[in-house]
Structure 1
Amino acid sequence: MLIARMIRTAAPADVPTILQLVRELAEYEREPDAVKAGESDLHAALFGARPVAEAVIAEVDGAAVGMALFFPSFSTWEGRAGLYLEDLFVRPSARGLGVGKSLLVHLAGVAMDRGYARFEWQVLDWNAPAIGFYHALGARSQDEWTGMRVDGDALTRLAKR
């Protein structure tokens, strides 16, 4: 059986699908109630007056089965931009069909076409299947780094200091 796979740039009409895929990702990552974003938030971030991110949709036989949401980063050491992958998600029904690999290959091509120095992302330490998949594609873990975050009330307090 031949499976038709396609990666395409997201359009404004895709915002509801992107939000649904983000919610499915949150469920997979054991944080089903963590998504606060609404359609208007994603629309503004992706297609507003000052877009801060981009997205691509993965389709199999014409149906959306996955997505990647990304934005530029910057390396002072390289003196060049990079591509930061915020979210990658493939629905369980489409896993094993090469969709995740197609999304990553597509984004690597975007990074190369734009002259970016790197392509990076984070993965939860308990997600062994994803880590193994990424390693098989040539990604290397950056175990010497610890992610840090300030948000919510802590962000408000820090900004008021």
Structure 2
Amino acid sequence: MTASIRQAVRSDAERLDAALAALAGDLGDPYRATPAGLERAGWGRAPAFRAQIAEAGTDLAGLALYSPGLSTVMGGPGLYVSDLWVAPGHRSDGLGQRLLAAAFADAAHVWGACFLRLQVYDRSPAARRFYDRLGFVPSTGHTDLFLDEAGCAALKGET
């Protein structure tokens, strides 16, 4: 069965949570999100993300979760795909590419996106091959840096 893709809505928060937890499990990552937290972040006063959902009948077949970004180097807005997941039974049928295309089309419409950015774990060679086949190229000349909750608290002088 070919999966259909649609924009996620508020009532999808539990399904998003289940898929994101499955992705974290696949990657061996901890998972701290909750359906309520996703609902607040995605459909609150200032939405922090948008998502595309792939469904095969009533089954969740995949998702792409993404946020806006602005790059003066690229000359405008883009999207950052933080999570791309395809259920095991739907892999190798082009669904990942379709989800990325749907996310980009939505971001181009909503934010005027002119580029797409994502990260791939070094420990995920199959994912890297997938992105290579689509034409993604590694960034050079910069390093991703993160500030965790404790670091943010210190930054605000709350320690």
The TM-score with structure 2 as length reference comes to: 0.90
Whole-Å Cα distance in 2 between the matches of residues 26 and 5 of structure 1? 22
Q: Are 1:47 and 2:18 an aligned pair?
A: no
Question: 1:1-161, aligned counterparts within 5 Å?
Answer: 3-31=1-29, 34-113=30-109, 114-160=111-157
Whole-Å Cα distance in 1 between the matches of residues 36 and 149 of structure 2? 20
Shift of 1:152: 2.1
Shift of 1:56: 0.9
Shift of 1:147: 1.4
Shift of 1:107: 2.1
Number of residues of Structure 1 aligned to a counterpart in Structure 2: 157
Which amino acid is the alignment partner of residue 27 of structure 1? G
* Identity, % of aligned positions: 30
Shift of 1:92: 1.3
Whole-Å Cα distance in 2 between the matches of residues 69 and 41 of structure 1? 14
Shift of 1:136: 0.5
Shift of 1:102: 1.0
SS at match of 2:20: helix
Contact 1:72–1:84 under 8 Å retained in 2: yes
Q: Cα gap change, 1:145/1:29 in structure 2, threshold over 3 Å: closer, same or farther?
A: farther
Whole-Å Cα distance in 2 between the matches of residues 92 and 145 of structure 1? 33
Which amino acid is the alignment partner of residue 53 of structure 2? I
CA RMSD across the alignment: 1.7
Contact 2:74–2:115 under 8 Å retained in 1: no
Shift of 1:58: 0.8
Unaligned runs of 5+ in 2: none
Unaligned runs of 5+ in 1: none
